[in-house]
Amino acid sequence: MRKIRTFAVIAFFALNSQFVAAQVKYPTNKIEMIGVCTKFMETFKNEKFSEAFDLLKPYSVIEDYKLDTLAKTAKDQMASLSSSYGKIISYEELSEKDIKGSLVQIIYLLKFQQAFLKFTFILYNNDSGWTITNFKYNDEIDDLFTPAPNSSN
């Protein structure tokens, strides 16, 4: 599980650098962006890792080459995890937290036969539309058991 934590830190910093947004689609509907995340999870669950990351490209400020690198890393990691985690069996959306219509955090649980991974997407509304600004996965779930502070929408 240490490999996943290390990757999550690397992915977090790699995906939070400055980006070129010229090719990004900015859907005005948050539901469309959530649909992209759900489609990613479905595709990832089916072990189509490159295809899953390709789905994010038109909707994300994360540069294409970084998503391509993450796809290869994920494929390699999933292959090595299969001996201890088992086969991927399903996923489910655990939470969706909205901060005043500007930021949304969506958390999914990818279920394996013996373990799990938590996937987190951060969506941002720049008042012209929505985009994916951050993506990570790891095996840390402590924050899921902590009550969320009250927030107003």
Closest to 15 measured CA to CA, from 53, 61, 54 = 61
Report pLDDT digits (tens) over 42-92: 999 999 999 999 999 999 999 999 999 999 999 999 999 989 999 999 999
- As to burial, measured by CB atoms within 10 angstroms (0-12 exposed, 13-18 middle, 19+ buried), residue 123 is buried
Judge if pTM exceeds 0.85.
Answer: no
